[in-house]
Chains A and B, each alone.
Chain A
Amino acid sequence: MLEMFSYDFMIRAFVAGIIIAILAAISGSFIVLRRYSMITETLAHSALVGVAVGVIAGSNPLWMAVVAALLSAWIIEYLRSYFHLYSDSVLAIMLSGSLALAVIIVSLAGAFNSSLFSYLFGSILSVTENDLVVMSLFGVIALSLLGVFYKQLYFIAYDEEVARTSGIKVDMLNFLLVSIVAIIIALSIRIVGTLLIGAMMVIPTVAALRFRQGFAKTILIALLFSVVAVIVGMSSSYFFSLPSGATIVLTLLFIFIFSLIVNRR
């Protein structure tokens, strides 16, 4: 079992995976509680545009994914607040729009190949040392921001109006949250893949909510689920040669079903 760690790529994959697990569970909890889960899907598809650009331009796709996801997050928030459009319609438009753009870029470059497949569904083989540096850098930034603004974000998620009247900078923090989420999603496409990252952000919290605890405990349970899913998922990816994103999400699904059964009512 432990012999898989004799491979450097496996160690890199585990480090990357656990960074993602922690970030996704924490930021995902705020997104889920704000009924904004679908933004994760949209941003993941936007990150794919960055990947496409990175692949054909020969630069690191991860950096490009971060840029693309951030830009998309800001456009979404701008469209929502400036034009007062429905959130879900904006998300649908940006999702399809991003995917269309990504497909065109990739087709024009004639770059439909196996490396793109790994960006869609994740691969434990794909994490380079450079990726780990990028992930740690942004990971630390994202985690510190979440740590600093954790209480404010929590207040806003529960009661946005009272948070506003008590002097919390709600608009600024909403903007910050979607930016952090954009970065985390872009970082996670190596391990989980763009088509599957949404589950990684959403399921741990939804499953943890079934246990009906306070906020601090709910986040801890979500963290636990998330880390367990990544460890189990990546190990099965190694042993059965399956895309790691798929095995992680399937593990999360089992955890979700488990939480439903244990907390029947």
Chain B
Amino acid sequence: MKFISPVFEVSNLTFRANEQSILEEISLTILPGDYCAIIGPNGGGKTTLIRLLLGLEKPTSGQIKLFGQPINKFKRWSKIGYVPQRAAGLDQNFPATVLEVVKMGRIATQGLFAKATREDREAIEEAMIKMDVTDIQNKLVGELSGGQRQRVMIARALASKPEVLILDEPNTGVDVISQKRFYKLLKELNAQEKMTIIFITHDIGVIVDDIGRLFTVNQTLLTCNNPKEAISCDDMSALYGIDAHLIHNHHHH
């Protein structure tokens, strides 16, 4: 049988900033096709973990491998789609149409002198259809609602045909109906296209039935392969304090 190299293989990862410990001794393995959620309190290091996985921060110690390769040797970045949290914080006056932004997703994979190929055009169109932004393709990104902008950012990530999609709180500023639709779509990408999905979220109630793996990050890591068993009230209150009970109990009613 062929050995499947993990998408991410992290061992003893520690990150400190200004002598302050942000993440300590994190080890985790994410396999192709995994559907993972990362939860944890604000300031617990969720975003930092993702930024380390993407090479945007350098670890203080420890090792990260992507598709079996050490991160500093890894070259095939277009395999990884990233949707950052601060999409809403981007320059609202930036002169870019939705189509122009989605096209950015193909730039890294195109040769320098190459014109857009049919493959590029199809990938862009497919991504726009999937995220339902075809109708607004000629609008400026600054004129979009929060939910629309988020969909455009994801369409851009999908345009590169990634094998892994990483999203940092993708639903900030998005209404509940769009949220449900959104998680359904993530699930579809995972089930139908075998895309590995990793996302940070606060919506524990919404996702707990669906996700395959749950990582709780608060300086250290608690991995659970079966979220339903693992989210015991004790763990939740340890992470979040009393509020988590409410979220948790509410979900089971």
Chain A residues within 8 Å of B, Cβ to Cβ: 33, 148-149, 151-152, 154-155, 157-159, 161-168, 208-209, 212-218
Given contacts A151-B107, A162-B84, contact A167 B78 (CB under 8 A): yes
How far does the alpha carbon of A161 sit from the alpha carbon of B90 in the complex, in Å? Answer: 11
A165 contacts B55, C-beta separation under 8 Å:
yes
**Closest B-chain residue to A169, C-beta based?**
B108
Tell me the interface secondary structure of chain B in the complex. loop
Number of A-B pairs, beta carbon distance below 8 Å: 81
How far does the alpha carbon of A218 sit from the alpha carbon of B141 in the complex, in Å? Answer: 14
Instruction: Please name all residues of chain B whose beta carbon is closer than 8 Å to the beta carbon of A163 when the two chains form the complex.
Output: 104, 107-108
Interface size class of B (residues with CB under 8 A): 20 to 34
Given contacts A151-B107, A152-B107, A158-B90, contact A166 B82 (CB under 8 A): yes
A159 contacts B140, C-beta separation under 8 Å:
no
Q: Which of A158, A159, A166 contacts B77 (CB 8 A)?
A: A166
How far does the alpha carbon of A216 sit from the alpha carbon of B101 in the complex, in Å? Answer: 12
The distance from the CB of A165 to the nearest CB of chain B, in whole angstroms, is 5
How far does the alpha carbon of A6 sit from the alpha carbon of B50 in the complex, in Å? Answer: 65
Q: Which of A149, A157, A165, A168 contacts B54 (CB 8 A)?
A: A165
Q: Which of A161, A168, A218 contacts B108 (CB 8 A)?
A: A168
How far does the alpha carbon of A212 sit from the alpha carbon of B95 in the complex, in Å? Answer: 6
User: Which are the 10 A-B pairs with shortest beta-carbon distances?
Assistant: A167-B77, A214-B97, A218-B95, A166-B108, A167-B108, A165-B82, A165-B54, A155-B104, A151-B107, A215-B95
Does B196 touch A at the CB level, under 8 Å? no
Given contacts A148-B113, A164-B56, A166-B105, contact A216 B100 (CB under 8 A): yes
B84 contacts A155, C-beta separation under 8 Å:
no
Q: Which B residues between 57 and 112 are near A, CB-CB below 8 angstroms?
A: 75-78, 80-82, 84, 90-91, 93-97, 99-101, 104-105, 107-108, 110, 112
Does B160 touch A at the CB level, under 8 Å? yes
- List 22 A–B pairs whose Cβ atoms lie within 8 Å, in order of A's numbering: A33-B94, A148-B112, A148-B113, A151-B107, A154-B100, A155-B104, A155-B107, A158-B94, A158-B96, A159-B104, A163-B107, A165-B54, A165-B77, A165-B82, A167-B77, A167-B108, A212-B140, A214-B99, A214-B138, A215-B97, A217-B95, A218-B95
Q: Which of B82, B84, B96, B113 has the most CB atoms of chain A within a 10 A radius of its CB?
A: B96
Given contacts A158-B101, A216-B100, contact A209 B82 (CB under 8 A): no
A209 contacts B95, C-beta separation under 8 Å:
yes
**Closest A-chain residue to B156, C-beta based?**
A162
Given contacts A158-B104, A165-B77, contact A149 B82 (CB under 8 A): no
**Closest B-chain residue to A214, C-beta based?**
B97
Given contacts A161-B84, A165-B54, A166-B160, contact A213 B95 (CB under 8 A): yes
A165-B77, A165-B82, A214-B95 given; name 6 further pairs at CB < 8 Å.
A33-B91, A158-B90, A161-B56, A163-B104, A215-B100, A217-B95
Tell me the interface secondary structure of chain A in the complex. helix
- B111-133: CB near A (< 8 Å → 1, else 0) gives 01100000000000000000000
Instruction: Please name all residues of chain A whose beta carbon is closer than 8 Å to the beta carbon of B94 when the two chains form the complex.
Output: 33, 157-158
How far does the alpha carbon of A115 sit from the alpha carbon of B97 in the complex, in Å? Answer: 47
**Closest A-chain residue to B77, C-beta based?**
A167
The distance from the CB of B8 to the nearest CB of chain A, in whole angstroms, is 14
How far does the alpha carbon of A163 sit from the alpha carbon of B104 in the complex, in Å? Answer: 8
The distance from the CB of B247 to the nearest CB of chain A, in whole angstroms, is 30
How far does the alpha carbon of A183 sit from the alpha carbon of B107 in the complex, in Å? Answer: 26
The distance from the CB of A33 to the nearest CB of chain B, in whole angstroms, is 7
The distance from the CB of A217 to the nearest CB of chain B, in whole angstroms, is 8
B97 contacts A159, C-beta separation under 8 Å:
no
How far does the alpha carbon of A7 sit from the alpha carbon of B76 in the complex, in Å? Answer: 57
Instruction: Please name all residues of chain B whose beta carbon is closer than 8 Å to the beta carbon of A149 when the two chains form the complex.
Output: 112
How far does the alpha carbon of A148 sit from the alpha carbon of B115 in the complex, in Å? Answer: 11
B100 contacts A214, C-beta separation under 8 Å:
yes
- B142-169: CB near A (< 8 Å → 1, else 0) gives 1000000000000010001000000000
Instruction: Please name all residues of chain B whose beta carbon is closer than 8 Å to the beta carbon of A212 when the two chains form the complex.
Output: 93, 95, 140, 142
How far does the alpha carbon of A157 sit from the alpha carbon of B95 in the complex, in Å? Answer: 11
**Closest A-chain residue to B113, C-beta based?**
A148
Instruction: Please name all residues of chain A whose beta carbon is closer than 8 Å to the beta carbon of B140 when the two chains form the complex.
Output: 212-214
How far does the alpha carbon of A159 sit from the alpha carbon of B93 in the complex, in Å? Answer: 13
How far does the alpha carbon of A214 sit from the alpha carbon of B141 in the complex, in Å? Answer: 9
How far does the alpha carbon of A212 sit from the alpha carbon of B139 in the complex, in Å? Answer: 10
